[in-house]
């Protein structure tokens, strides 16, 4: 399959990793272009036919200058194949991405071989979905015993005036925060969790952003208050 690719990802190690996945997935990769933020991605897309109808875009959802959901919304009518590549497996990221036209949803923490296998489904006209995402979708849309369809994805509740809700860490982020607070290094956490070190690094960035902290010590204080350590 001859394909032109645009990888929109701010982590340079993750970009290189996804580039390897692409080259291992398709027999004829014509070009692999890269963008580290939304602004650069838009420039790449405007500079000639950088994403042709048969092209492929791998898009991270958390970028330095905004959400990848914005770009998905702008390209909703574009016939190219648009695959989200992210760390987030929760409903609040998954369903909005699919609603905005994502053709697949892959988790960067999956093994190289799993990502290649899922990416190759594009050739067969099947949506590439990480196994965890496929299970989540199946569980959500599976009908109950009474024959009624599952309810729509939950929406965020409106906060009570005067009350600040605690940051919503994903289960993976909570696990990383626990290990980080116990003094493990990024590489040690990656080994313990069976994921890549750059994935751990991305989790830590998300944790710091959500908790509005800038150091391991500050994050550890929060973890202690929440009983994570």
**What would the pLDDT profile of 41-63 be if each residue is shown by its tens digit?**
998 887 655 577 788 999 999 99
- Pair 175, 106 in one domain: no
Mean pLDDT calculated for residue range 153-172: 57
What is the Cα–Cα distance from 175 to 153, expressed in whole angstroms?
24
- Pair 64, 134 in one domain: yes
Q: In 106-215, which residue ranges form alpha helices assigned H by DSSP? A: 112-119, 131-141, 171-181, 186-193, 197-211
- Pair 46, 115 in one domain: yes
- Pair 117, 199 in one domain: no
Mean pLDDT calculated for residue range 33-48: 87
Answer yes or no: is 32 within a domain: yes
- Pair 106, 27 in one domain: yes
Q: Please tell me the predicted confidence (pLDDT) of residue 166.
A: 52
- Pair 110, 188 in one domain: no
**Residue 38: exposure state from Cβ atoms within 10 A (0-12, 13-18, ≥19):** buried
Q: State the angle between helix axes of 216-225 and 197-211 in degrees (0 to 180), rounded to the nearest 10.
A: 70
- Across the chain, mean pLDDT equals 85
Report the domain count for the chain: 2
pLDDT at 168 over 60: yes
Would you state the structure tokens that stand for residue 213, as one six-digit string?
A: 């902290």
Answer yes or no: is 87 within a domain: yes
Answer yes or no: is 162 within a domain: no
Mean pLDDT calculated for residue range 72-90: 91
Q: 161 pLDDT band (50/70/90 cuts)?
A: very low
Asked which of 93, 119, 141 is the last residue of a domain, the reply is 141
Q: Please tell me the predicted confidence (pLDDT) of residue 48.
A: 54
Per 3-state DSSP, the chain is made up of helix, strand and coil in percentages (nearest 5) of 45, 15, 40
- Pair 92, 48 in one domain: yes
This model's pTM is above 0.85: no
Q: Within its chain, how far is the Cα of 45 from the centroid?
A: 21
Domain that residue 178 falls in = 171-225
């Amino acid at each position: 399959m001859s394909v032109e690719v645009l990888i929109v990802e701010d982590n340079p190690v993750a970009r290189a990793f996804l580039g390897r996945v692409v080259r291992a997935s398709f027999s004829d990769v014509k070009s692999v272009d890269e963008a580290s933020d939304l602004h650069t991605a838009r420039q790449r897309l405007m500079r000639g036919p950088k994403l042709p109808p048969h092209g492929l875009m791998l898009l991270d959802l958390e970028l330095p200058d905004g959400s990848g959901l914005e770009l998905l919304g702008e390209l909703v009518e574009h016939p190219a194949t648009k695959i989200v590549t992210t760390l987030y497996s929760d409903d609040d990221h998954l369903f909005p991405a699919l609603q905005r036209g994502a053709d697949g949803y892959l988790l960067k923490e999956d093994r190289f071989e799993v990502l290649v296998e899922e990416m190759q489904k594009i050739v067969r006209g099947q949506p590439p979905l990480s196994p965890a995402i496929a299970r989540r979708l199946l569980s959500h849309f599976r009908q109950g015993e009474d024959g009624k369809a599952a309810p729509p994805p939950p929406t965020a509740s409106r906060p009570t005036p005067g009350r600040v809700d605690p940051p919503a860490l994903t289960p993976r982020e909570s696990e990383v925060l626990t290990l980080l607070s116990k003094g493990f290094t990024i590489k040690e956490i990656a080994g313990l969790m069976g994921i890549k070190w750059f994935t751990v690094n991305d989790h830590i960035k998300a944790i710091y952003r959500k908790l509005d902290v800038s150091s391991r010590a500050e994050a550890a204080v929060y973890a202690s208050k929440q009983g994570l350590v």
